Amino acid sequence: MISPVDRQLIALLVDGRFHSGTELAGALGVSRSAVWKHLQGLSELGIEILAVSGKGYRLATPMDLLDSERIFAYLHHRASGLLTGLEVHGLIASTNTYLHELAEQGVPGGLVCLAERQTAGKGRRGRQWVSPFGRNIYLSILWRFQGGPAAIAGLSLALGVATIQALRQLGAHDVGLKWPNDIYWRQRKLGGILIEVSGESDGPCHAVAGLGLNVDMSTKQGEAIDQDWADLVAVLGGSARPDRNRVSGVLLNHWLPVLAEFEQRTLVDYIEDWREVDCMVGKTVDISIGSLAHRGTVAGIDDQGFLLLTDANGELRRFASGEVSFSKS
Could you tell me which residues are annotated as the binding site for biotin? Answer: 94-96, 118, 189
Nearest-CA neighbor of 248 among 11, 79, 63, 78? Answer: 79
Cross-sheet strand order for the sheet of 111-118: 85-92, 111-118, 137-145, 205-213, 188-199, 182-185, 175-178
CA distance 227 to 221: 13
Q: Decide: 254 and 163 in contact? Cβ < 8 Å.
A: yes
CA distance 282 to 278: 10
Residues 6+ apart with CB under 8 A from 60: 48, 49, 50, 218
Q: Decide: 50 and 91 in contact? Cβ < 8 Å.
A: no
CA distance 246 to 93: 24
Element (H, E) at 112: strand 111-118
Nearest-CA neighbor of 123 among 213, 250, 219? Answer: 213
